Every structure is written in structure tokens, then in C-alpha cells.
């Protein structure tokens, strides 16, 4: 490898939209090369800114050619000092006042006063002046105490099982006390092109290298400590670090809970009871619960399985609806993990795929606990799950199915949240997601169909909006879908949504309620197939055909009750270049708004501002993080806070409860067609070859971020 590898140009193909073809291959198994899994005919309703770059960061990082300038993020779960907040109650007792609070004062006024940064294609992190950053942890760093030092040329599954995994996505930070916290991170997928020197093909990998990739999937729990009295955090490198843990696709056992646990759909030769699953796959976003656990969504699990052509005919339609081809043994983009573990061969183990696609819950404060997969929340391509405590004490989880023309869901628990820090309360709250009612959304516009022409032009009433209804699918062991049992509905939730006429959306990804207002925000990333021949046309909630840039949906439950079965909705943001007539920013002056494309994750800071990260920017810039007020006169004043390096996606994000620290994951830096370990497209973060990692950003003067 040369001392200064040649950087490749950013390439891409129109077939794969705004994402590079390499990302399509590894992240979702070339989903856009396969037919859209949803074939139904469900009904449709409602027929450059002045900027600055942090020169301080440029000077510090410029010497290695990988400029790391910082990140911004958002609060998650119910640990940010909200009315529903409750810290974990098991030992150790987390600190009061939000995530790792320092007693440094209030989290700020909420005014977003930072100067927005410009779109760019630099191989660096860029944030406004007045901020600093550090890389918290990167691929290969020690997680489990005693892990061997990372050796790129001699990777082993045993070593990777103790080291920080690949392609970090969701980030959660849970307090232990005022100076310590637990970082919990998803590892969504691997890219063998960028992991193994000399890579040529999946078939050429050794079985041990396949096992390395399996170990690099999953989750990491890492104990952090605050650096002095700043917003900077770093891993604890001494002592027992008893909470540090790796969860992998290779060996970690998961318990199945809920009505579908033990059903015939989940039984295999290795697990005839259908209650224990090895591993978790393609973990994308997630959420922090009010009781101090982390939820993680299993997303594009379909790409890990082969042999769909050999299953029984009555199962093929179900596999196809979940994106698993049934006409070939090895689909396009197959990882061929059957070489290392035969359970990924559906010809031998036809039910194994049914054991993935769930919401996973992990208790980071109990490293000996078995993570769980909650069948009561349904099975689909989960982006994540975010929880709020409703007025009556029940908990509500909101979820999106990240696929073109798929659905929006919510779950309402049977039991009520028990506040307090007692062990009794914690044991009770750990059962809240095991039983309840699962709903899917049907959305209706309030404008005449003729006014929704697919161009994005606003209807006569000046905004996209209307009413919606949550359609009950299953409650406990009772199914509300004709011809399907409760286990059927929960295992094949997409098919249940098809039957009840749910509204097809433009890739509903992260769905998060504001803990201050109870309003719910949905990132609809894009859908280039909208309006194509034989595909669903534009509707008021998805108002543009060939939708390349996506939109943000705001949902207001009736009576302010998150358990309600009806709601109002609107589109406060229709993404794209503000100069494009098809964009909309809640009526705000578009000459003052940053361009944004392909919203992926949404989150909130402690004062209620909405932060939006992007994936697959179709405007020619690197992906980034943006912030806007959602209430008051600044609603819609969207401002870009950061960009990530070349080829990377902005993931996370997470802002601590004191608003002093911003955590974001830099996923797949340098993931550009033609790149390799020897010839990287990015050298972030260390100046040699690309490594996914987590970054923390803070204000130099110690003030609240964004202000």
C-alpha cells in the first residue's frame, strides 16, 4: 500500500439512484435491482447559504488528509429530561437530569444560532466554527477488555468478537453517573471490499473471513467517561469495564418473546421450540427506552439467505414479500454465509429467515442478560423503534418499514409503565413490549385528487395534510386480519398490512415522537419508483412522482393521546434544493434554508428542535446533519450543521440531555465503486484506509450545541 493512496472519484449509477452501487450491494443486497416486494393495489387517498467551515478543525486534521471536524445529533428515548423521562433502575443507578448531566446549567434557549455550513464533497467532517470533535471509537478498537490489537492483514472472528464492529448506525448514550455513560451502537452490515486486503469476490473469501464478517455485525456496548468538564467523551481504558460487550451475528443467543414465540413459523431443527435465535442481522436504527434499555431494528436481513428456490411452494410468496428471491439459489448481492453456517441455507432450514426482521431489546446495564426479539412488535424491515409513555401510562412504540411502498406502524402496550428506580419497577418495565396491540397506518389527504399531480405543487389550501387512522392488526393472541392467526400476522406483518389496505409510503425510515409535544415525525427517504408505470401514483402524503429527495411527515395524535386510533398529519418539509418549486419548508423563506436530500434518521435535542440526518444525498453533496425548530416562528428554518466524509452516511444521531455533547456515527466512509483497502476512496479517520466510527462534537465554550 502506498503512503498516500489515490482517492477515487465519487461514482454512481442511475439504476441505484443517489446511492453508490457499492452501497446498494452491501447494505441492502441490491434491493433496487429486484422487484418491489409490495405488489398490492391498496387504496390511495387525497386523490449556496452564507457559511463557515471550522478552520480550527481543518488545521488540526489536515496533516493526515482526513479532516475530522465534528458532528451534531439529537436526544433519543426518554432520557433527555422530558416529562416521560425515567432513568434505569437497576444497579448502577444512572445520574439524574439527563444523559451524563454535569450540573452545568440549563440546556439552552433552543434557538439555533449556528451559521450553516455549505454543501461539499470533502473527505472530512465539517461543522460550524466554534465547535470541536474527537473520534470516540472506530472499527477494530477494543471493546471487551483484553481484545487483541487490530491487525488488518490477520483478522480473526475471535478477535472481531471483542473489537468494535463494522458500519456503525444507531447511537445511544445512557448515563451511569454524572461523569460516566454507556455508548450503545448498532453494526448494520459489512463491506468485504473495504475490510480485507486483496479482496476479489465473496467466493474467494476463506470461511474464517466469512466468520469475521459475521462477528463484525451486531452491537457494541462501551463504557465512556467525560473529559474534564467539556462535552468531550472517550472510552474508559482501565479497570474492569464490566458493561463492555459485543453482540454478534456469529454467536450471541437471543430470546424470542410475545405471541409468535414458539410458533411453527419460528421452529427449526436446531431450535425445535422456536424460542432461541443465534445472532442479529442488519441492525439499522433504534431507540432508548424510558426504562434504560436500547431497541434495535433488524432491517435488510433478506440478503443473508440463499436457497429460496428450494422451499415449499406455499412459502415462496411469503419469502418474496420480504425480498428473498425464490427463483435462484444465490440472489444478486448474496453474501453466501451458508459457507460458514448452514442455517442461512433455506433449502435446509426454511424457517430461519422468519427469525430475523424483529425489534431487538438489549439491557446494557446487565451484560449477562440475554437480548430479546419482541414478536409483538411485528416482523418487517425495521428501521428502528422509538418509545413514548402515553397519558394513561401505557408505552407506544413507533416504527417504519424501510422499503419502497411499505408501511408505517405503531405498537401500544397492554401494561403500564411503572416509574421509579426500584428493582420491581425495572423488572416490570422490561416486560412492556411483550404484549399489546399492533397497528398499521392508513392516510387520507384533505385536498381534491386533481390538485395532487405528482409535481410537488402545493394544493390550494397551501399545504399537504389530512387525516389518518391506525388499523388494528393484532392484539395479544387475537388477530384482526381475516385468514391470518396472530402468529401469522406478527411473523408476516407486511402481508397483514396488504390485506387491510395500509397506505404505501416513500420508504418510511426513522419514526420518533417528540417527548416535549407528543407529535411524531417520520423520515420518508425517497422513492424513485413512485408514479412509474404499474406503480402507485403520487398522493398527498407522498406528493412527488420519481421522488428522489424525500419528505418529513408530522403526525399529531387526536386529543394529544399517543394511544389514539386517529390522527392529523402534515408535511412540514418536502426535501430538495430550496430553489426547486417542488420543495417546502413549513412556509419559511426558502432563500434562507439549507438544501437537504434523503432524510434517514430524526431525533430531538433537549429543547425540542428536530435534527435530521441524511442517507444518499441526491443533490451532489456529501450526506449531513440538519436542524430546525418545529414550533414557533422559526419552524421550517432548516440549517445544515455538518457533513460527513466522502462516500459516508450520517447515522445516529444523539444529543445528550444537557445539550452539550453530540454523537454521530460515520457509516461506510469511502464506500465508492472501485474502492478497496489498497486503493481507498476515503482515508477517514486516520489517514490510511477508511474505518467506520463514532464521533462526539461539542462547543468550545461549553455551551449548548446548535445555539
The full length of the chain comes to 707
Per-residue pLDDT tens over the stretch 420-475: 999 999 999 999 999 999 999 999 999 999 999 999 999 999 999 999 999 999 99
State the pLDDT at residue 26: 84
Per-residue pLDDT tens over the stretch 311-329: 999 999 999 999 999 999 9
State the pLDDT at residue 343: 98
What integer is the mean pLDDT of 54-68?
27
d(CA 102, CA 229): 8
Rg (CA), the chain: 23
State the pLDDT at residue 69: 22
Task: Identify the residue with better confidence: 235 or 55.
Answer: 235
Q: Which residue has the cell 394529544?
A: 560
d(CA 267, CA 277): 10
Helix (H) or strand (E) holding 58: helix 55-61
Q: Indicate the pTM of the whole model.
A: 0.89
DSSP class of residue 461? T
User: Could you count the other beta carbons within 10 Å of the beta carbon of residue 64?
Assistant: 14
State the pLDDT at residue 518: 98
- Whether pLDDT at 38 is above 90: no
Per-residue pLDDT tens over the stretch 472-526: 999 999 999 999 999 999 999 999 999 999 999 999 999 999 999 999 999 999 9
State the pLDDT at residue 625: 97
The count of C-alpha atoms lying within 13 angstroms of the C-alpha of 118, restricted to the half-sphere facing its C-beta, is 9
State the pLDDT at residue 57: 33
Give the confidence band of 37 by pLDDT, cuts at 50, 70, 90: confident
Amino acid at each position: 500500500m502506498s503512503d498516500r493512496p489515490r482517492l477515487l472519484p465519487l461514482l454512481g449509477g442511475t439504476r441505484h439512484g443517489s446511492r453508490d452501487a457499492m452501497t446498494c450491494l452491501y447494505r441492502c443486497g441490491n434491493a433496487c435491482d429486484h422487484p418491489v416486494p409490495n405488489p398490492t393495489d391498496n387504496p390511495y387517498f387525497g386523490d449556496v447559504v452564507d457559511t463557515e467551515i471550522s478552520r480550527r478543525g481543518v488545521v488540526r486534521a489536515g496533516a493526515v488528509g482526513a479532516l475530522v471536524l465534528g458532528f451534531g445529533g439529537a436526544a433519543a428515548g426518554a432520557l433527555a429530561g422530558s416529562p416521560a423521562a425515567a432513568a434505569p433502575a437497576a444497579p448502577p443507578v444512572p445520574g439524574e437530569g439527563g444523559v451524563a448531566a454535569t450540573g452545568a446549567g440549563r440546556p439552552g434557549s433552543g434557538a439555533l444560532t449556528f451559521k450553516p455550513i455549505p454543501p461539499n464533497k470533502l473527505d472530512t467532517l465539517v461543522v460550524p466554527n466554534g465547535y470541536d470533535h474527537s473520534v470516540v471509537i472506530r472499527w477494530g478498537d477494543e471493546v471487551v477488555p483484553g481484545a487483541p490489537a487490530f491487525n488488518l492483514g490477520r483478522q480473526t472472528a475471535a478477535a472481531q468478537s471483542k473489537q468494535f464492529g463494522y458500519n456503525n448506525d444507531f447511537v445511544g448514550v445512557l448515563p451511569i453517573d454524572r461523569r460516566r455513560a454507556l455508548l450503545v451502537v448498532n453494526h448494520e452490515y459489512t463491506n468485504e471490499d473495504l475490510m480485507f486486503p486483496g479482496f476479489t469476490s465473496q467466493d474467494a473469501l476463506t470461511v474464517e473471513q466469512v466468520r469475521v464478517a459475521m462477528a463484525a455485525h451486531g452491537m457494541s456496548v462501551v463504557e465512556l467517561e467525560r473529559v474534564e468538564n467539556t462535552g468531550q467523551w472517550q472510552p474508559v481504558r482501565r479497570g474492569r469495564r464490566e458493561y463492555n460487550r459485543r453482540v454478534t451475528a456469529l454467536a450471541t443467543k437471543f430470546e424470542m418473546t410475545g405471541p409468535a414465540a414458539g410458533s411453527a413459523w419460528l421452529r427449526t431443527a436446531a431450535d425445535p421450540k422456536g424460542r432461541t435465535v443465534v445472532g442479529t442481522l442488519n441492525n439499522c436504527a433504534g431507540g432508548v427506552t424510558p426504562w434504560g434499555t436500547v431497541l434495535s431494528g433488524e432491517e435488510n436481513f433478506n440478503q443473508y439467505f440463499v436457497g429460496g428456490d428450494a422451499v415449499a411452494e406455499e412459502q415462496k410468496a411469503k419469502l418474496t414479500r420480504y425480498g428473498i428471491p425464490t427463483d435462484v439459489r444465490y440472489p444478486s448481492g448474496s453474501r453466501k454465509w451458508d459457507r460458514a453456517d448452514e442455517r442461512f441455507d433455506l433449502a435446509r432450514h426454511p424457517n430461519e429467515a422468519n427469525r430475523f426482521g424483529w425489534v431487538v431489546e438489549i439491557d446494557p446495564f446487565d451484560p449477562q442478560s440475554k437480548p430479546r426479539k419482541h414478536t409483538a412488535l411485528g416482523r418487517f424491515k425495521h428501521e428502528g423503534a422509538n418509545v413514548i409513555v402515553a397519558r394513561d401510562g401505557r408505552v407506544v412504540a413507533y416504527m417504519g418499514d424501510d422499503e419502497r411502498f411499505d408501511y408505517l406502524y405503531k405498537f401500544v402496550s397492554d401494561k403500564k409503565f411503572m416509574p421509579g428506580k426500584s428493582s420491581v419497577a425495572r423488572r416490570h418495565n422490561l416486560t412492556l413490549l411483550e404484549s399489546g396491540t399492533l397497528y398499521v397506518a392508513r392516510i387520507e389527504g384533505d385536498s381534491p385528487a386533481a390538485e395532487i399531480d405528482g409535481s410537488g405543487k402545493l394544493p390550494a389550501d397551501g399545504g399537504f395534510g389530512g387525516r389518518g387512522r391506525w388499523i388494528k392488526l393484532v392484539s395479544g393472541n387475537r388477530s384482526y386480519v381475516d385468514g391470518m392467526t396472530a402468529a401469522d400476522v406478527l411473523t408476516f406483518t407486511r402481508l397483514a398490512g396488504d390485506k387491510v389496505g395500509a397506505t404505501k409510503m416513500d420508504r418510511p425510515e426513522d419514526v420518533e415522537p417528540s417527548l416535549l409535544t407528543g407529535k411524531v415525525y417520520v423520515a420518508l427517504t425517497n422513492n424513485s419508483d413512485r408514479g412509474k408505470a404499474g406503480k402507485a401514483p403520487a398522493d398527498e402524503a407522498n406528493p412527488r412522482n420519481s421522488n428522489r429527495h424525500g419528505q418529513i411527515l408530522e403526525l399529531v395524535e387526536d386529543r394529544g393521546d399517543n394511544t389514539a386510533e386517529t390522527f392529523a398529519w402534515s408535511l412540514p418539509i418536502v426535501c430538495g434544493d430550496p430553489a426547486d418549486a417542488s420543495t417546502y419548508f413549513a412556509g419559511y423563506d426558502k432563500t434562507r434554508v439549507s438544501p437537504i436530500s434523503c432524510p434517514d434518521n430524526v431525533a430531538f435535542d433537549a429543547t425540542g428542535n428536530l435534527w435530521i440526518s441524511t442517507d444518499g444525498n441526491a443533490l451532489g453533496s456529501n450526506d449531513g446533519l440538519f436542524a430546525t425548530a418545529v414550533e414557533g416562528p422559526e419552524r421550517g428554518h432548516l440549517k445544515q450543521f455538518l457533513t460527513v466524509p466522502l462516500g459516508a452516511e450520517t447515522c445516529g444521531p444523539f444529543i445528550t440531555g444537557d445539550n452539550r455533547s453530540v454523537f454521530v456515527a460515520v457509516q461506510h466512509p469511502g464506500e465508492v465503486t472501485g474502492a478497496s483497502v489498497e486503493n481507498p476512496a476515503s482515508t477517514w479517520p486516520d489517514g490510511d484506509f477508511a474505518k467506520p466510527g463514532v464521533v462526539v462534537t461539542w462547543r468550545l465554550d461549553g455551551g449548548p450545541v446548535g445555539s
